[in-house]
Structure 1
Amino acid sequence: MSAHPAESEALLTPSEVATLFRVDPKTVTRWAKAGKLSSIRTLGGHRRYRESEVRELLNGVPQPREGKA
């Protein structure tokens, strides 16, 4: 039996999350510290974010319209 049940779920780096939201990676880290987004720590101490949670949060954020002058 595995100690990590969510092993198959994709994890994103702060940079990948920042690209999706069009913000700086430090902003993503601040969101995690504020509890707006949960993070997982790697053995090296780096943060990783569950893709499903990020996508859910992203769907609640209004997207800028393309081609609007």
Structure 2
Amino acid sequence: MRTKHAADHDELLSVGEAAELLAVHPDTLKRWERAGRIEALRTPTGHRRFRRRDVEHLLARSAS
């Protein structure tokens, strides 16, 4: 589910979409979020959403 965040217009990615971009299992991404490695936003129903820029930043850090 790709949406735009109303406040800053960042593209938001679901756990599956973000995990696919990072080439990790969704559980790994959730573990990274709990460890503070990446921030997740929550929908009103409690689902995680990740900012594309945060995912890309994490991807760039892991590539270097």
Asked whether the two chains share a fold, i.e. TM above 0.5, the reply is yes
Length-normalised TM-score, structure 1: 0.77
* Residue in structure 1 matched with residue 45 of structure 2 by the alignment: 44
Which structure has the larger Rg?
1
Q: Which has the higher helix share?
A: 2
* Residue in structure 2 matched with residue 5 of structure 1 by the alignment: 7
- CA RMSD across the alignment: 1.5
Q: Which has the higher strand share?
A: 2
Amino acid at match of 2:51: R
Length-normalised TM-score, structure 2: 0.82
CA shift at 1:17, angstroms? 1.1
Amino acid at match of 1:58: L
Specify every segment of 5 or more residues in structure 2 that has no aligned partner in the other structure, as ranges.
1-5
The size of the alignment, in residue pairs, is 59
